[in-house]
């Protein structure tokens, strides 16, 4: 009696993970076996050890490198190469204007991206003060090449400033400014006019060599800007003790007291010798 011969058909060639799932006969068997499957630029060679309880696969990239990738990153398409694809794409971007790549950004390019984020990105922490207030970037500066042509390279220690805070970013309204210039040009600052010139209190202090804190104190007490500037400077009071005359601040350092402690004692009528020699309660 003849024996029956069964024709065994070869299994279909499976190249990708999608083909494996579509093949019902082999999906269960090969569901957890990714060997010889192709994921973008990666060919899975064999299974390696675990990493944080995740299965790792040794792969061969088109560039010839041998990266290790988890099953999840392969199946979900999170990892498509060893990193050479990202480098190639970044090199194309870097050749556009030479100011940025995926690893490096110049300071000028960083200023440009920060300016756009503040005005256009609603998730930016400063959007309410810029884009939410109507401050926008002009159409010309939406392209970095135009911004670089108008503003040039960012000088060291400077940042971009809008001359008129109520207007947006444009070549006519922007310049490079120092930190002091930026601080003086804010909406919160109040300017005081004297001799036809309008400046903030710190600016008047630097220009006239006057302590700006003294000017601010005088204006808070009701003096006009003219009286605050023209009145003579306050004379530092000297306290004489043991034949030496010094301001209260220097006496506090010399005697090891807190200045407020000495001020409190003298304001309440203590004699200088008593105020300077009486130890603190904690030192008794």
What band does 199 get if pLDDT is binned at 50, 70 and 90? confident
User: What is residue 168's predicted lDDT score, i.e. its pLDDT?
Assistant: 93
| Cα–Cα–Cα angle for 87, 75, 63, rounded to 5 degrees | 30
pLDDT at position 282: 57
pLDDT digits (tens, 9 = 90+) for 96-137: 566 766 567 888 999 999 999 999 999 999 999 899 999 999
Q: Does the pLDDT of residue 268 top 70, yes or no? A: yes
Check pLDDT > 50 for residue 216.
Answer: yes
User: CA 181 from chain center: how many Å?
Assistant: 20
pLDDT score of 10 more than 80: no
Weakest-pLDDT range from 27-31, 83-87, 131-135, 263-267: 27-31
List the Cα angle 262/268/273 in 5-degree steps.
50
Instruction: Give domain limits for the chain.
Output: 17-82, 104-184, 192-230, 239-283
- By the 10 Å C-beta count (0-12 exposed, 13-18 middle, 19+ buried), 77 is classed as exposed
- At residue 21, the pLDDT reads 53
Cβ atoms of residues 119 and 136 within 8 Å: yes
Q: Flag whether pLDDT at 243 surpasses 70.
A: yes
In terms of pLDDT, which residue wins out, 42 or 187?
42
């Amino acid at each position: 009696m003849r024996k029956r011969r069964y024709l065994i058909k070869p299994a279909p060639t499976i190249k990708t993970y999608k083909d494996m799932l579509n093949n019902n006969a082999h999906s269960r068997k090969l569901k957890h076996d990714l060997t010889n499957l192709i994921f973008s630029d990666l060919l899975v060679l064999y299974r390696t050890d675990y990493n944080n309880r995740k299965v790792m696969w040794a792969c061969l990239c088109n560039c010839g490198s041998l990266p290790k990738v988890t099953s999840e990153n392969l199946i979900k398409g999170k990892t498509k190469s060893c990193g050479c694809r990202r480098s190639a794409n970044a090199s194309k971007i870097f050749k556009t204007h030479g100011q940025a790549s995926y690893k490096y950004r110049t300071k000028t390019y960083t200023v440009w991206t920060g300016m756009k984020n503040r005005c256009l990105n609603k998730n930016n922490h400063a959007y309410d003060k810029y884009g939410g207030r109507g401050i926008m970037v002009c159409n010309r500066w939406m392209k970095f090449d135009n911004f670089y042509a108008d503003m040039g390279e960012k000088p060291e220690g400077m940042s971009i400033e809008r001359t008129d805070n109520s207007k947006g970013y444009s070549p006519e309204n922007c310049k490079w400014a120092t930190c002091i210039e930026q601080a003086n040009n804010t909406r919160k600052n109040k300017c005081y006019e004297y001799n036809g010139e309008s400046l903030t209190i710190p600016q008047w202090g630097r220009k006239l060599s006057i302590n700006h804190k003294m000017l601010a104190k005088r204006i808070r007490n009701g003096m006009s800007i003219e009286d605050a500037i023209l009145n003579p400077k306050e004379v530092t009071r000297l306290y004489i003790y043991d034949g030496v005359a010094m301001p209260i601040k220097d006496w506090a350092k010399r005697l090891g007291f807190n200045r407020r402690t000495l001020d409190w004692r003298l304001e309440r009528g203590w004699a200088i010798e008593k105020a300077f020699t009486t130890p603190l309660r904690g030192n008794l």
